[in-house]
Amino acid sequence: MYLTRLIYVSTITQLCRPESLDEILIASRKHNEEDHITGILSFDEQYFLQCLEGSRSKVNEAYSRIHNDKRHTNVIILDYEEISSRVFGDWSMGYVPKSKLTALLNIQFSGSDSFTPYEMSGASAFQMLLELKKNLPSD
């Protein structure tokens, strides 16, 4: 089954409470491990930027669940493509909190020094996530 990468951006809703993030990560890591999905999730208290990589059918299934989740809204796909290898293979879902989304990194990959993932191309979003990966501890 073809290896696929999907990157999307979304906006938090009021249904996403402070404890929700832990719940999201626990559910993500459980399902993703079972489905051999790997990836990274960055979050700045307003927007999510997530990359999922794995078999096309499993990535599609996970995205469908995620898309229907009421804890976020305005879910927009930035990139969806077949890939020849994974880049986040060490993480069932690596997590990057706000503190790592520095002004320097934001200005490098978007037109602003704040985290504005809706303004990013798929290629910029991917490059930014690769940059963030450098400081991520393995799962």
Rounded distance, CA 69 to CA 65, Å? Answer: 7
Q: Which residues bind ligand FMN (CB under 6 A)?
A: 10, 24, 27-28, 31-32, 41, 48, 50, 52, 62, 65-66, 69, 71-72, 93
Q: State which residue, 48 or 88, has the beta carbon closest to ligand FMN.
A: 48
Partner residues linked to 29 by β-bridges: none
Q: How far is the CB of 58 from ligand FMN (least distance, A)?
A: 10
State the CB neighbour count (10 A cutoff) for residue 117: 27
- Nearer to ligand FMN by C-beta: 70 or 104? 70
Considering beta carbons, is residue 39 or 110 the nearer one to ligand FMN?
39
Least distance CB 99 / ligand FMN (angstroms): 18
Taking only Cα atoms into account, the Rg of the chain, rounded to an integer number of angstroms, comes to: 14
What does DSSP say about strands 3-12 and 94-96: parallel, antiparallel, or unpaired? unpaired
CB of 109 to ligand FMN, least distance (A): 20
**Intra-chain end-to-end CA distance of the chain, in Å:** 25
Q: Give the shortest CB-87-to-ligand FMN separation in angstroms.
A: 16
Q: Which residue's CB is nearer to ligand FMN, number 31 or number 86?
A: 31
Q: How far is 26 from 31, CA to CA, in rounded Å?
A: 9
